[in-house]
Amino acid sequence: MYDASLCTLSMALLLVPLVSCGVGDGEKLFGESSSGTTGGQGSGASGATSSSSDGGASSNAGGSPSGPGPSSSTSSSATATATATASSSSSSSSGGMDFSVGCGATECPVDGQGACCWDYYQLNPGPQGECVKGPPDGDECDTEFHERSNTGAEARIECQLPSHCGGGEVCCGDRVIVGQDGAYYAGTECATQCDDPDRILCSPLEPSFTCPVGTFCNPSTLLPPGYFICTGN
């Protein structure tokens, strides 16, 4: 069990939604991994790595922030959402842009610089998930965390499944560490490298893709329902 006495807040009160105990994605504090639920282990894409330890910066999975924000989804509901998203997406093994990504209650096409803007902590006005269009610096999806106003920390999501990326690439979640034990995703995109603290995205519906050795495909606790990441078991 997670020992709450190990968690200490080192930042101002405005940071409570991001640094409280129980926030994270797929791993517990101090490198202790959470239980794997789906998928298997194997060798990942060339050049991509994902560690089962976090270097002392990640928080435990399955929790929810003490401020606004939803609790994490169950494995069964996440799998159901993934099934619905995959069946309505037209993905290309060559990394084409003719597909959509799940964005909570909606789906967003990514062609023409489209993306899903996901506000897990609900720190900003508007829906938690919405489609945006345009370059990252002009889409009004605020991926920076602003301590003074306690706003931002949104994720610009450009890929969801391994098949959304081309050969030699993985769908990589850009995970931002806040304080001692807070985290959020600034976005996901196809990349040839995906190193800690970032997370490789996977899917139980695409078993041909295997997570790096020592990691397993588990539901994400910070991305929208239906998203899976490679983490230690």
**181 with 24: CB under 8 angstroms?**
yes
* pLDDT by 10s per residue, the chain, length 233: 433 333 332 333 334 445 443 445 543 322 333 333 334 444 334 345 444 322 223 333 333 232 333 333 334 444 444 444 444 444 333 345 689 999 999 999 999 999 999 999 999 998 999 999 999 998 999 999 999 999 999 999 999 999 999 999 999 999 999 988 899 999 999 999 999 999 999 999 999 999 999 999 999 999 999 999 999 86
Alpha-carbon distance of 54 to 175, in angstroms, equals 11
pLDDT at 51: 41
Reduced to 3 states (helix: H, G, I; strand: E, B; else coil), residue 13 is: helix
* Per-residue pLDDT, 97: 66
Q: For position 12, what pLDDT does the model report?
A: 35
Q: Which tokens hold the place of 4?
A: 């709450």
- The predicted pLDDT at position 215 comes to 95
- Residue carrying structure tokens 């991926």: 143
Judge whether 34 and 231 are in contact, CB under 8 Å. Answer: yes
What pLDDT does residue 221 have?
Answer: 95
The whole-number pLDDT of residue 38 equals 38
> 3-state DSSP call for residue 231?
strand
Q: How far apart are CA 216 and CA 39, in angstroms?
A: 6
pLDDT score at 18: 53
- How high is the pLDDT of residue 98? 83
Among 198, 196, 200, 220, which residue's Cα sits nearest to residue 38? 220
pLDDT of residue 87: 42
Return d(Cα 227, Cα 108) in angstroms, integer.
Answer: 14
* pLDDT value at residue 216: 95
